Chains A and B, each alone.
Chain A
Amino acid sequence: MRSVTAEEVIRDYLDALLEGNRRRAFAVVDRARGEGLDHRAIYLEVFQPALHEVGRLWQENRISVADEHLATAITQAAMARLYDDLFAHGAGGGPVLVAACVDSERHEVGLRMICDLLELEGWDTYFLGATTPLESLVSMVEARAPQAVALSASITPHLPRVRVTISALRERLGERTPLILAGGRAFLDDPELAARVGADLTARDAMEAADLLRERFPR
């Protein structure tokens, strides 16, 4: 049973982020865990909306780029802390996902969330993170033979590189090409865009991505 609402937790968590206070942010997460919010709720109902709000505050010139980076770094650290007990729960041995941000893309939190959510369900995920070079991504996919690959782009200048990456994967792997999911902020305004860059699927956020992949590859 939850005795706190996600809204209350978001407010406290956001305050901690804007203060740049990592210790306080961790304490908010620990308290929420103690009061019944599970991983999924903390990711989707606290981290995700809090970071969206941080981005909005930056756009409105109410916080600086440095504040925004600090908030992101704190959230990544908070996710890493949760990841430890995630490993204690997740059994592994399920479908495999390789997730990467191509080239100069640095917005990696969304992909990381997808990986962690699927790990909770027993998937084995390989999160390559920001700025992964194309050639090494293709080799990794070839070696790991995952069921799915997830690529993300936060801004439209990164889209051509997503397209080139997908066509390189298809060219190298042919019929062995895994299901390719492309998402991120750059895809949100245009539902046809993912298909246009050669992806099989797209999703609006980490939860939808994880749900779609789970449907495609039931355990």
Chain B
Amino acid sequence: MAPLAAAERATAFLLEEKEALAREITRRLYADMPELLERYGERGRAKCLQDMRYNLEHLAPAVELERPEMFGAYVRWLDGLLRAHGVATAEVVRTLELMEEVLDERLPADEAQAVRECVRAGLAVVREGGEGG
């Protein structure tokens, strides 16, 4: 089945390219929101990079198993965790938007489609979450 194959290829890409993708998303986030460096310092940036790796690791099975809501549930959990650490939901939203942007640029259309459904399920959770976006 063609859509399954796209999901599998996209999953392999996410895991193989995890490091480069995490770095690029982090780079764009800090370019976008320079105040983050002032607020959290270099240590914050390193933590952010680690979080981007986790995000990709959690995105992969949702794509592979074609379960967008699985990534949605992870984002809900992550947002709760980060808010407990004083990180605003707006940052989570921006991170996911950049994740979609970077993956859209790098994946063929069918794979990008499989990934986008999952990322958007995550975005829907934090956008409805109250802080807008």
Query: A36: CB under 8 A from chain B?
Result: no
Q: Judge whether A196 and B58 touch: CB under 8 Å.
A: no
Q: Does the CB pair B60–A160 fall under 8 Å? A: yes
A157 touches B61 (CB 8 A): yes
Cα A158 to Cα B54 in complex, Å, equals: 12
Check B11 against A156 for contact (C-beta < 8 Å): no
Q: Does the CB pair B67–A190 fall under 8 Å?
A: yes
Q: Which residue of chain A lies nearest to B57 when distances are taken between CB atoms in the complex?
A: A157
B47-82 CB mask vs A (1 if < 8 Å, else 0) is 000000000011011101101011001100100110
| Band of interface residues on B | 10 to 19
- A156 adjacent to B62 (CB under 8 Å): yes
User: Are A155 and B58 touching (Cβ within 8 A)?
Assistant: yes
The yes or no answer to A86 lying at the interface (CB within 8 A) is no
What's the minimum C-beta distance from A10 to chain B, rounded to whole angstroms? 23
CB interface residues, A 137-164, toward B, < 8 Å: 155-160
Contact-residue bracket for chain A: 10 to 19
Check B84–A59 contact: CB distance below 8 A. yes
Q: Smallest distance from the beta carbon of B84 to chain A beta carbons, Å?
A: 4
B39 contacts the other chain (Cβ, under 8 Å)? Answer: no
Are the C-beta atoms of A156 and B85 separated by less than 8 Å? no
Q: Enumerate chain B residues within 8 angstroms of A158, measured Cβ to Cβ.
A: 61
Structural contact, B70 and A61, CB atoms closer than 8 A: no
Chain B, residue nearest A61 (CB) = B84
Q: CA–CA, A2 to B112, complex, Å?
A: 59
B81 and A156 within 8 A (CB) = no
**CB of A18 within 8 A of chain B?**
no
Measured CB to CB, the residues of A under 8 A from B are 59-61, 155-160, 189-190, 193, 196-197
Could you pull out 24 A-B pairs where Cβ atoms are within 8 angstroms?
Answer: A59-B77, A59-B81, A59-B84, A61-B81, A155-B58, A156-B58, A156-B62, A156-B70, A156-B74, A157-B58, A157-B60, A159-B64, A159-B65, A160-B11, A160-B60, A160-B65, A189-B69, A189-B73, A190-B67, A190-B69, A193-B65, A193-B70, A196-B65, A196-B67
Top 7 nearest A-B pairs (CB, nearest first) are: A61-B84, A157-B57, A156-B61, A159-B61, A60-B84, A189-B73, A59-B81
A156-B70, A190-B70 known; 10 new pairs, CB 8 Å cut-off, are A61-B81, A61-B84, A156-B61, A156-B62, A157-B60, A158-B61, A159-B61, A159-B65, A189-B73, A193-B67
Interface of B with A (CB < 8 Å)?
Answer: 11, 57-58, 60-62, 64-65, 67, 69-70, 73-74, 77, 80-81, 84-85
